A and B are shown apart, each in its own frame.
Chain A
Amino acid sequence: MREISVVVNGRVRKRIIKDNELLLDFLRDRLEVKSVKAACWRGECGLCTVKLDGCLVKSCLVLAVEADGKEVTTVEGISPGGELAPIQKAFVEHGAAQCGFCTPAWVLATHELLAKNPRPTDEDLTEAVAGLVCRCGTYNQIREAVADVAGKRRKRAPEGIAQA
């Protein structure tokens, strides 16, 4: 047991934790940050993605104790004033969420991509989100949302090609 202090979305949060606690559990169970989803627990689906000191990581593969003294950003942290970030508006507009379970992770990852690379190519996007899974399969809509924010709205797929 030890006390750790983590800046989560700009707020200093102190909690006593066990050394074997995952960052994922610390965020969800101790701090009630429920946008961070627990799904595969083995680093495959990426739905527990958070930003740790500026880098996207899968929080099911990080110990909470490793975040001591560091900064964590979750999707709540990208729209601090309550105003949706451009990528969030684009997700709404393009219907890039179906069940919505994976959406926080996708929003965070694509927001981060656009912050670092304002005009990502399709390949840049594919690479940046390679660790994320959307079981509803909204990949095309997510592509459109990202392209929209990047300022190059893509043409819709031709008739006859299945698209939700």
Chain B
Amino acid sequence: MSFGSPYTTLPDFEYHSPKTVDEALALLREHLDEAKLMGGGIGLIAFMKERLMSPTHVIDLKGVEELKEVKRVPGKGLWIGAAVTLSELLQDGKLGEENAVLHEAVARIADPMIRRRATLVGNVCEAIPWVDTPPALIALDASIEIVGGEGKRTVPVSSFIRGPVDVDLDTTEIVTAVVIPESKGREGAFEKFTGGSEFSLASVAIVASGQGKSKYARAVYGAVNSTPIRCAAVEEQIKDGINVGSVRRAGQAASENVECVDDVLASSAYRKHLVKVITTKALGRMMER
């Protein structure tokens, strides 16, 4: 029995299950801001229970075959469709080797039952400050592919997420995929600290090119601020290689430069300590490989 209260029931809505992106777009154009797109539904159903969202139309993308693909497009990179679940992504044999940072972030999200429903695109579109995949995707220079409105456009994940629960997406648009550019010889690692709760208190995604090669370095922090943030001071420390000295200096640089907020989950000072710990752990693992 659901006691008719919020938290246990959902607002009234009409459910739609389009089979193609075009059908989904037509539904969006018809219902505009009264509609919400649903991937795995993990975030949307939770938001609806809390009445933070009360759409009168829910458009479920699970039945859209063209969005269920993970494909490698030459010259473009890894294309991950909006209906691909996190567990389907983990089953992709090459992900761990090509993009370790994303594999590590996804493998530790929630639990296997949630990962069987949740999608990567859904995780990004939620844009909740403590979700784990945006830092990893930003560290990989990934983009979001969008259709609708004026046609097709591509936006870097870093600018797609504008703020907490705020993304660069119009009511007539659909995110069709996350695209990760091809990369060779990049190492990466993801670390987070949750303190045993369901929320990350701090997370970091680090990607760097192999030592002595092209100088690509990204250190992106999640859950410490309203959106994921890059830290140039950490990137500077690891550009010329990851060794005992640079790992120590990077940890210190993180603590001094990553802007951390105070909130009910943790104080700014505690988060500044955490970013040092997770930066050192992530880089330590990359050094050992």
Taking Cβ atoms with an 8 Å cutoff, the residues of A that contact B are 18-22, 25, 28-29, 38, 41-44, 46, 49, 55-58, 60-63, 65-66, 127-128, 130-132
| Bound CA–CA A22/B2 (angstroms) | 10
Residues of B within 8 A of A128 (CB): 112
Extra contacts, 10 of them, besides A43-B110, A57-B113 (Cβ < 8 A), are: A20-B9, A20-B11, A22-B10, A28-B1, A41-B8, A46-B113, A58-B113, A58-B114, A61-B45, A131-B112
- Which residues in window 1-19 of B have CB below 8 A to A? 1-2, 7-15
| Bound CA–CA A21/B180 (angstroms) | 37
A63 contacts B41, C-beta separation under 8 Å: yes
Residues of B within 8 A of A127 (CB): 112
B49 contacts A41, C-beta separation under 8 Å: yes
Residues of A within 8 A of B110 (CB): 43, 130-131
B2 contacts A130, C-beta separation under 8 Å: no
6 A–B pairs (Cβ distance < 8 Å), ordered by A: A21-B10, A29-B2, A38-B2, A56-B113, A56-B116, A62-B41
Interface of B is mostly: loop
Question: Known: A41-B7, A41-B49. Is A61-B112 also a contact (CB below 8 A)?
Answer: no
| Residue in A closest to B50 when the chains form the complex, CB atoms | A42
- Which residues in window 62-117 of B have CB below 8 A to A? 62, 110-114, 116-117
B45 contacts A66, C-beta separation under 8 Å: no
Question: Known: A56-B112, A56-B116. Is A43-B42 also a contact (CB below 8 A)?
Answer: yes
| Bound CA–CA A161/B113 (angstroms) | 32
A19 contacts B15, C-beta separation under 8 Å: yes
Most A CB atoms within 10 A — which of B7, B45, B48, B198? Answer: B45
| Residue in A closest to B63 when the chains form the complex, CB atoms | A66
| Bound CA–CA A43/B8 (angstroms) | 11
A49 contacts B113, C-beta separation under 8 Å: yes
| Bound CA–CA A94/B236 (angstroms) | 56
B7 contacts A62, C-beta separation under 8 Å: no
Residues of B within 8 A of A18 (CB): 12
Judged by a CB distance under 8 angstroms, whether B60 is at the interface is yes
Question: Known: A19-B13, A62-B117. Is A43-B112 also a contact (CB below 8 A)?
Answer: no
| Bound CA–CA A56/B15 (angstroms) | 23
A43 contacts B114, C-beta separation under 8 Å: yes
Judged by a CB distance under 8 angstroms, whether B46 is at the interface is yes
State how many angstroms separate the Cβ of A55 from the closest Cβ of chain B: 5
B116 contacts A55, C-beta separation under 8 Å: yes
| Residue in B closest to A46 when the chains form the complex, CB atoms | B113
Residues of A within 8 A of B116 (CB): 55-57
State how many angstroms separate the Cβ of B117 from the closest Cβ of chain A: 6
Residues of B within 8 A of A19 (CB): 12-15, 58
Residues of A within 8 A of B41 (CB): 61-63
State how many angstroms separate the Cβ of B61 from the closest Cβ of chain A: 12
Question: Known: A42-B49, A43-B46, A61-B42. Is A131-B111 also a contact (CB below 8 A)?
Answer: yes
